């Protein structure tokens, strides 16, 4: 019994050595992790910018279009709203891997910058989901807040910026954090277009060592640790934001 | 009160749902500078719609509204500039929940009038003292009672130094014991000579503070006159019926 345990332990230690220590293979994981974080971070930035713009266009259209004075502004809003609708339909209606491959093979043909391509692809994808999150956030704010802002003399955009968006942001923060976590995990398909992210790093080790269990377990553990860390961070932020309102 | 006409309303009409609902039909009215006009009437009479048209929160279907002799329904007019001069108080207060009381009061003066933070806060503190809420300057709206919220909403509007204050049923959402403190602030404001248009169900306030009472029903002005005329010797049958119910 003791011997069996000892030999199991020795096997595990040997596997661990092969997978991570030998030829410094652990570096595949660390560089992969840094690429995953970089892609996720920039994708989130792009996604939030796209998301806010689309959410503003779409909620403005719903709230204001009928009341607007006829003219160039009204036409622009209608066109912008139409484009946003098409974008949302296409992005949410196709798999992210396909979008990634289209961007890699068809659009960024001359670029080999995997991080850039990953960030742009996942950013464009995430933007569609973030847009809907922000839109529901804006629509959830009582119309009285808009009216109070407008009655003080703020124009529509100022009212959004100073009064509505800060409240909407607070309301959607948990959903937005969830989107970030989904995004973090979703970037694991970046390996499809030869980006060396965390998952790809584990896969390279698997290929080189013929070991399946250790590298994949390590990759899973790192994702899990990241997700738990960010969840905690968001909880703290959320509590801070709400502190004053009670 | 003097003879200067601050707001002149001409042929005002407002339709909802593509003309199915006629909320206002051909309203003509004048609001003089320094005058307190109280608008009363049954629910659905269009009195709130009338008030909300005055600062174009509702865009009229037809008619003109002159504020300081400028037709603010004209499409080339920047309504935001005129709204700065028209304070509004809502039934549901509409304070900004993510800001402190001081933040609520200084946001517009700082961003729109270009006042410095110190200047805006000094003015806000002075107003807070007048309504007895200086100690709540750093509280958040959710920490206040309804009556306190409405008093803050009034002084928030006053921070913009408006020429007229519009009150849309300011005491209707309050617990009965808090109505008095809000009316008291409004009364003081009236005595200081502020031009006020008040939509309310508080007949006591209308009688005591109003210079003129407008009775509306079915989207029309049925009768207007001094509180004495309206409450003691109403001429129209519709007015008599309404007063018999509420007094």
Mean pLDDT, all residues of chain B: 94
Query: Is a pLDDT exceeding 60 seen at residue B35?
Result: yes
Structure tokens at B104: 């609520």
Q: What is the pLDDT of residues B173-210, one digit of tens each?
A: 999 999 999 999 999 999 999 999 999 999 999 999 99
The chain B residue lying nearest A156, using CA atoms, is B80
Strand boundaries in A46-157, DSSP class E: none
Residue A28 confidence (pLDDT): 87
Interface predicted TM-score of the whole assembly (ipTM), two decimals? 0.92
CA distance B67 to chain A (A): 15
* In chain B, alpha helices (H): 47-54, 79-83, 101-113, 117-130, 146-158, 176-191, 203-209, 227-232, 237-246
CB contact under 8 A, B86 and A244: no
Residue B15 confidence (pLDDT): 92
Q: What is the pLDDT of residues A183-223, one digit of tens each?
A: 999 999 988 888 889 998 888 888 888 888 888 999 999 99
Number of Cβ within 10 Å of residue A55's Cβ equals 26
- Cα A132 versus chain centre, distance: 13
How is residue A69 annotated by DSSP?
P
Top mean pLDDT of A23-37, A165-179, B217-231 is at: B217-231
Residue B193 confidence (pLDDT): 94
Q: pLDDT category, A244, cuts 50, 70, 90?
A: low
Q: pLDDT category, B60, cuts 50, 70, 90?
A: very high
The chain B residue lying nearest A147, using CA atoms, is B57
Structure tokens at A133: 């999150």
pTM of the model: 0.84
Query: Is a pLDDT exceeding 90 seen at residue A69?
Result: no
Strand B70-71 and strand B36-40: the pairing is unpaired
Structure tokens at A98: 């396909």
For residues B59-88, give the mean pLDDT: 94
Cα separation, B7 vs B65, whole angstroms: 7
CB contact under 8 A, A152 and B98: no
Q: How far apart are the first and last CA of chain A?
A: 60
Cβ–Cβ contact A240 with B under 8 A: no
For residues A238-242, give the mean pLDDT: 78
Cα separation, B43 vs B47, whole angstroms: 8
Cα separation, A149 vs B157, whole angstroms: 11
CB contact under 8 A, B57 and A142: no
Query: Is a pLDDT exceeding 90 seen at residue A4?
Result: no
The count of CB pairs under 8 A between chains A and B is 67
Residue A35 confidence (pLDDT): 92
CA distance B11 to chain A (A): 20
- Decide: A57 and A77 in contact? Cβ < 8 Å: yes
Cβ–Cβ contact A3 with B under 8 A: no
The residue among B13, B90, B92, B75 whose CA lies nearest residue A67 is: B75
Q: What is the pLDDT of residues B102-134, one digit of tens each?
A: 999 999 999 999 999 999 999 999 999 999 999
Chain A residues with CB inside 8 Å of B83's CB?
Answer: 150-153
Cα separation, A107 vs B38, whole angstroms: 66
For residues B42-53, give the mean pLDDT: 94
Cβ–Cβ contact A148 with B under 8 A: yes
| Environment class of A1 (CB within 10 Å of its CB; exposed 0-12, middle 13-18, buried 19+) | exposed
Query: Is a pLDDT exceeding 90 seen at residue B76?
Result: no
CB contact under 8 A, B157 and A67: no
For residues A51-74, give the mean pLDDT: 86
For residues B39 and B20, which has the higher predicted lDDT (pLDDT)?
B39
- Cα A196 versus chain centre, distance: 18
Structure tokens at B174: 């309050």
The chain B residue lying nearest A142, using CA atoms, is B94
Residue A36 confidence (pLDDT): 94
In this complex, which of A147, A154, A166 lies closest to B112 when CB atoms are compared? A154
CB contact under 8 A, A67 and B59: yes
Task: Spell out the SS3 assignment of B126-165.
Answer: HHHHHCCCHHHCCCCHHHCCHHHHHHHHHHHHHCCCCCEE
Spatial strand order of the sheet with B212-217 comes to B86-89, B164-168, B195-199, B36-40, B212-217, B220-225
Cβ–Cβ contact A245 with B under 8 A: yes
Query: Is a pLDDT exceeding 90 seen at residue A74?
Result: no
The domains of chain A, with CATH numbers, are 29-244 (1.10.3720.10)
For chain B, which residues lie within 8 Å of any Cβ of chain A, measuring from their own Cβ? 55, 57, 59, 75, 80-81, 83-84, 86-88, 90, 92, 94-98, 100, 107-108, 111-112, 140, 142-143, 156-157, 160
The residue among A25, A126, A153, A9 whose CA lies nearest residue B156 is: A153
Q: pLDDT category, A245, cuts 50, 70, 90?
A: low
- Cα B98 versus chain centre, distance: 24
The residue among A34, A24, A38 whose CA lies nearest residue A204 is: A24
Torsion of CA B32, B36, B38, B39, to 10 degrees: 30
- Quote helix, strand, coil % in chain A, to nearest 5: 90, 0, 10
In this complex, which of B140, B157, B160 lies closest to A244 when CB atoms are compared? B140
């Amino acid at each position: 019994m003791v011997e069996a345990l000892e030999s199991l332990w020795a096997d595990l230690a040997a596997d661990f050595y092969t997978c991570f220590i030998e030829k410094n293979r652990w570096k595949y994981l660390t560089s992969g992790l840094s690429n995953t974080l970089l892609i996720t971070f920039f994708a989130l930035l792009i996604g939030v910018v796209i998301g806010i713009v689309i959410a503003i266009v779409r909620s403005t259209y719903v709230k204001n279009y009928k009341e607007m004075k006829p003219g160039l502004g009204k036409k622009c809003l209608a066109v912008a709203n139409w484009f946003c609708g098409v974008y949302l339909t296409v992005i949410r209606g196709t798999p992210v891997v396909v979008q990634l491959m289209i961007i890699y093979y068809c659009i960024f043909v001359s670029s080999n910058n995997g991080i850039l391509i990953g960030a742009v692809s996942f950013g464009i994808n995430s933007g569609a989901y973030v847009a809907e999150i922000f839109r529901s956030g804006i629509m959830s704010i009582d119309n009285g807040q808009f009216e109070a802002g407008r009655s003080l003399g703020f124009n529509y955009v100022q009212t959004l910026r100073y009064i509505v968006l800060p409240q909407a942001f607070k309301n959607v923060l948990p959903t937005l954090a969830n989107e970030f976590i989904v995004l973090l995990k979703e970037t694991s398909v970046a390996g499809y277009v030869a980006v060396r992210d965390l998952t790809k790093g584990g896969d390279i080790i698997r290929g080189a060592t013929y070991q399946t269990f250790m590298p994949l377990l390590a990759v899973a553990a790192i994702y899990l640790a990241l997700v738990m860390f960010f969840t905690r961070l968001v909880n703290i932020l959320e509590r801070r934001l709400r502190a004053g309102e009670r | 009160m003097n003879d200067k006409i601050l707001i002149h309303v001409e042929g005002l009409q407002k339709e909802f749902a593509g003309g199915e609902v006629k909320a206002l039909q051909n309203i003509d009215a004048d609001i003089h500078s320094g005058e307190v006009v109280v608008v009363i009437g049954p629910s659905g009479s269009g009195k709130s719609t009338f008030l909300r048209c005055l600062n174009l929160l509702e865009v009229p279907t037809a008619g003109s509204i002159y504020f300081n002799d400028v037709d603010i329904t004209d499409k080339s007019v920047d309504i935001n500039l005129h709204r700065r001069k028209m304070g509004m108080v809502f039934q549901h207060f509409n304070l900004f929940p993510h800001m402190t009381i001081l933040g609520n009061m200084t946001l517009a003066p700082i961003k729109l009038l270009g006042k410095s933070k110190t200047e805006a806060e000094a003015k806000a503190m002075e107003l807070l003292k007048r309504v007895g809420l200086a100690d709540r300057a750093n509280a958040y709206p959710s920490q206040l009672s309804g009556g306190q919220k409405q008093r803050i909403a009034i002084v928030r509007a006053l921070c913009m130094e408006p020429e007229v204050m519009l009150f849309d049923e300011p005491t209707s959402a309050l617990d009965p014991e808090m109505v008095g403190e809000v009316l008291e602030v409004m009364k003081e404001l009236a005595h200081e000579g502020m031009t006020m248009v008040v939509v309310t169900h508080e007949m006591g306030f209308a009688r005591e503070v109003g210079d003129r009472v407008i009775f509306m029903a079915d989207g029309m002005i049925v009768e207007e006159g001094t509180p004495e005329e309206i409450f003691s010797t109403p001429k129209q049958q519709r007015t008599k019926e309404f007063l018999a119910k509420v007094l």
